[in-house]
Amino acid sequence: MIDHTGFALAVLLIELTPGPNMAWLVTLALAEGRRAGLGAIAGVAAGLAANAALSVLATSLILAQGEGLTQGVSVLAAAMMAWLAWEAWREAGESSQAAAPKAAGGRHALAGFVINLLNPKSALFLITVMPQFVTGGRPTLAQGLTLGAVSVGIATAIHLSLVLLAEHARTALMAEARARAVRRGLALVMLGVAAWFLAKAFV
Protein backbone atom coordinates (compact mmCIF):
# COMPACT_ATOMS: atom_id res chain seq x y z
CA MET A 1 0.00 0.00 0.00
CA ILE A 2 1.25 3.48 -0.93
CA ASP A 3 0.67 6.68 1.03
CA HIS A 4 0.32 8.88 -2.05
CA THR A 5 -0.80 11.91 -0.06
CA GLY A 6 2.08 11.79 2.40
CA PHE A 7 4.63 11.35 -0.36
CA ALA A 8 3.11 14.14 -2.44
CA LEU A 9 3.29 16.50 0.55
CA ALA A 10 6.95 15.59 1.14
CA VAL A 11 7.78 16.28 -2.52
CA LEU A 12 5.79 19.53 -2.48
CA LEU A 13 7.70 20.64 0.61
CA ILE A 14 11.02 20.17 -1.19
CA GLU A 15 9.88 21.63 -4.50
CA LEU A 16 8.52 24.80 -2.88
CA THR A 17 11.94 25.56 -1.42
CA PRO A 18 13.62 28.06 -3.79
CA GLY A 19 16.25 26.30 -5.88
CA PRO A 20 18.32 26.63 -9.08
CA ASN A 21 15.60 25.25 -11.36
CA MET A 22 13.20 27.89 -10.05
CA ALA A 23 15.63 30.78 -10.48
CA TRP A 24 16.81 29.62 -13.90
CA LEU A 25 13.34 29.05 -15.35
CA VAL A 26 11.99 32.39 -14.13
CA THR A 27 15.04 34.32 -15.34
CA LEU A 28 14.96 32.52 -18.68
CA ALA A 29 11.26 33.22 -19.20
CA LEU A 30 11.78 36.91 -18.44
CA ALA A 31 14.87 37.23 -20.64
CA GLU A 32 13.82 35.14 -23.64
CA GLY A 33 10.10 34.63 -23.29
CA ARG A 34 7.71 31.88 -22.31
CA ARG A 35 8.61 29.70 -25.28
CA ALA A 36 12.20 29.38 -24.05
CA GLY A 37 10.94 28.72 -20.53
CA LEU A 38 8.54 26.02 -21.70
CA GLY A 39 11.30 24.35 -23.72
CA ALA A 40 13.52 24.31 -20.65
CA ILE A 41 10.68 22.84 -18.57
CA ALA A 42 10.42 19.93 -21.02
CA GLY A 43 14.11 19.22 -20.59
CA VAL A 44 13.95 19.50 -16.80
CA ALA A 45 10.94 17.16 -16.67
CA ALA A 46 12.65 14.59 -18.91
CA GLY A 47 15.79 14.74 -16.78
CA LEU A 48 13.82 14.33 -13.56
CA ALA A 49 11.88 11.40 -15.06
CA ALA A 50 15.06 9.60 -16.12
CA ASN A 51 16.64 10.32 -12.75
CA ALA A 52 13.53 8.97 -10.98
CA ALA A 53 13.48 5.77 -13.07
CA LEU A 54 17.14 5.07 -12.29
CA SER A 55 16.54 5.85 -8.61
CA VAL A 56 13.60 3.42 -8.46
CA LEU A 57 15.76 0.66 -9.97
CA ALA A 58 18.53 1.43 -7.47
CA THR A 59 16.05 1.31 -4.59
CA SER A 60 14.75 -2.09 -5.72
CA LEU A 61 18.28 -3.48 -5.92
CA ILE A 62 19.33 -2.05 -2.56
CA LEU A 63 16.29 -3.20 -0.60
CA ALA A 64 16.34 -6.63 -2.23
CA GLN A 65 19.61 -7.35 -0.42
CA GLY A 66 17.91 -7.92 2.92
CA GLU A 67 15.27 -6.92 5.45
CA GLY A 68 17.79 -5.15 7.68
CA LEU A 69 18.44 -2.52 5.03
CA THR A 70 14.92 -1.13 5.42
CA GLN A 71 15.80 0.34 8.82
CA GLY A 72 19.05 1.73 7.45
CA VAL A 73 17.21 3.45 4.60
CA SER A 74 14.84 5.06 7.13
CA VAL A 75 17.82 6.46 9.03
CA LEU A 76 19.32 7.74 5.77
CA ALA A 77 15.98 9.33 4.89
CA ALA A 78 15.99 11.14 8.22
CA ALA A 79 19.55 12.32 7.58
CA MET A 80 18.59 13.45 4.06
CA MET A 81 15.67 15.54 5.32
CA ALA A 82 17.76 17.00 8.14
CA TRP A 83 20.44 17.99 5.61
CA LEU A 84 17.85 19.63 3.34
CA ALA A 85 16.48 21.45 6.38
CA TRP A 86 19.96 22.73 7.24
CA GLU A 87 20.53 23.86 3.64
CA ALA A 88 17.24 25.73 3.57
CA TRP A 89 17.94 27.33 6.96
CA ARG A 90 21.37 28.66 6.04
CA GLU A 91 20.13 29.90 2.64
CA ALA A 92 22.74 27.99 0.70
CA GLY A 93 22.87 25.08 -1.71
CA GLU A 94 19.84 25.07 -3.98
CA SER A 95 18.80 28.61 -3.12
CA SER A 96 21.89 29.91 -4.90
CA GLN A 97 21.24 31.28 -8.36
CA ALA A 98 24.88 30.69 -9.21
CA ALA A 99 24.13 26.98 -9.26
CA ALA A 100 21.47 27.42 -11.94
CA PRO A 101 22.14 25.72 -15.29
CA LYS A 102 23.09 28.02 -18.13
CA ALA A 103 22.52 27.49 -21.85
CA ALA A 104 22.06 29.49 -25.00
CA GLY A 105 19.80 29.37 -28.02
CA GLY A 106 17.91 26.11 -28.49
CA ARG A 107 19.96 24.20 -25.94
CA HIS A 108 17.88 25.11 -22.89
CA ALA A 109 15.98 21.81 -22.97
CA LEU A 110 19.21 19.81 -23.23
CA ALA A 111 20.78 21.77 -20.37
CA GLY A 112 17.72 21.18 -18.17
CA PHE A 113 17.75 17.47 -19.02
CA VAL A 114 21.44 16.90 -18.28
CA ILE A 115 21.51 18.93 -15.06
CA ASN A 116 18.52 17.10 -13.61
CA LEU A 117 19.50 13.65 -14.88
CA LEU A 118 22.84 13.97 -13.08
CA ASN A 119 21.42 15.57 -9.91
CA PRO A 120 22.54 13.30 -7.03
CA LYS A 121 20.29 15.12 -4.55
CA SER A 122 17.15 14.16 -6.49
CA ALA A 123 18.29 10.55 -6.70
CA LEU A 124 19.19 10.33 -3.01
CA PHE A 125 15.87 11.90 -2.04
CA LEU A 126 13.87 9.28 -3.95
CA ILE A 127 16.04 6.33 -2.90
CA THR A 128 15.77 7.15 0.80
CA VAL A 129 12.41 8.91 1.17
CA MET A 130 10.22 6.91 -1.23
CA PRO A 131 10.29 3.67 0.86
CA GLN A 132 8.97 5.59 3.90
CA PHE A 133 5.58 5.91 2.20
CA VAL A 134 5.18 2.27 1.18
CA THR A 135 3.89 -0.36 3.59
CA GLY A 136 6.81 -2.53 4.70
CA GLY A 137 9.34 -0.03 3.39
CA ARG A 138 10.12 -2.10 0.30
CA PRO A 139 8.38 -0.65 -2.79
CA THR A 140 7.85 -2.84 -5.83
CA LEU A 141 9.05 -1.57 -9.20
CA ALA A 142 5.50 -0.55 -10.12
CA GLN A 143 5.02 1.30 -6.82
CA GLY A 144 8.35 3.04 -7.23
CA LEU A 145 7.57 4.17 -10.75
CA THR A 146 4.18 5.46 -9.57
CA LEU A 147 5.79 7.56 -6.84
CA GLY A 148 8.46 8.70 -9.27
CA ALA A 149 5.73 9.91 -11.61
CA VAL A 150 4.06 11.76 -8.74
CA SER A 151 7.36 13.48 -7.92
CA VAL A 152 8.02 14.55 -11.51
CA GLY A 153 4.41 15.68 -11.96
CA ILE A 154 4.50 17.94 -8.90
CA ALA A 155 7.87 19.44 -9.87
CA THR A 156 6.71 20.09 -13.44
CA ALA A 157 3.45 21.70 -12.28
CA ILE A 158 5.38 24.08 -10.04
CA HIS A 159 7.90 24.89 -12.80
CA LEU A 160 5.09 25.53 -15.28
CA SER A 161 3.35 27.86 -12.84
CA LEU A 162 6.59 29.79 -12.35
CA VAL A 163 7.16 30.29 -16.07
CA LEU A 164 3.56 31.30 -16.75
CA LEU A 165 3.69 33.80 -13.87
CA ALA A 166 7.35 34.69 -14.37
CA GLU A 167 7.24 38.37 -13.50
CA HIS A 168 5.36 37.86 -10.23
CA ALA A 169 7.40 34.76 -9.40
CA ARG A 170 10.66 36.62 -9.97
CA THR A 171 9.53 39.40 -7.64
CA ALA A 172 8.76 36.82 -4.95
CA LEU A 173 12.06 34.99 -5.44
CA MET A 174 14.05 38.21 -5.33
CA ALA A 175 12.35 39.50 -2.16
CA GLU A 176 15.11 38.28 0.11
CA ALA A 177 13.42 38.93 3.46
CA ARG A 178 10.30 37.04 2.38
CA ALA A 179 12.33 34.23 0.80
CA ARG A 180 14.37 33.85 4.01
CA ALA A 181 11.23 33.50 6.12
CA VAL A 182 9.76 30.93 3.70
CA ARG A 183 12.97 28.88 3.61
CA ARG A 184 13.29 28.85 7.38
CA GLY A 185 9.65 27.88 7.83
CA LEU A 186 10.04 25.01 5.35
CA ALA A 187 13.30 24.03 7.07
CA LEU A 188 11.52 23.54 10.39
CA VAL A 189 8.86 21.39 8.73
CA MET A 190 11.58 19.31 7.02
CA LEU A 191 13.26 18.81 10.39
CA GLY A 192 9.96 17.51 11.76
CA VAL A 193 9.71 15.06 8.86
CA ALA A 194 13.29 13.93 9.56
CA ALA A 195 12.36 13.22 13.18
CA TRP A 196 9.35 11.19 11.99
CA PHE A 197 11.54 9.11 9.64
CA LEU A 198 14.01 8.47 12.46
CA ALA A 199 11.24 7.38 14.82
CA LYS A 200 9.93 4.98 12.15
CA ALA A 201 13.36 3.36 11.87
CA PHE A 202 13.23 2.18 15.49
CA VAL A 203 9.55 1.31 15.91
pLDDT tens digits, residue range 13-27? 988 887 778 878 888
pLDDT tens digits, residue range 84-127? 888 778 764 444 444 445 555 457 898 889 888 988 888 888 99
Closest among 202, 193, 190 to 72, alpha carbons compared? 202
Q: Render 77-102 in DSSP notation, one character per residue.
A: HHHHHHHHHHHHHTT-GGG-GGGS--
pTM metric for this prediction: 0.80
Number of domains in the chain: 1
Q: Average pLDDT in the 47-66 region?
A: 87
Structural domain range at position 179: 4-201
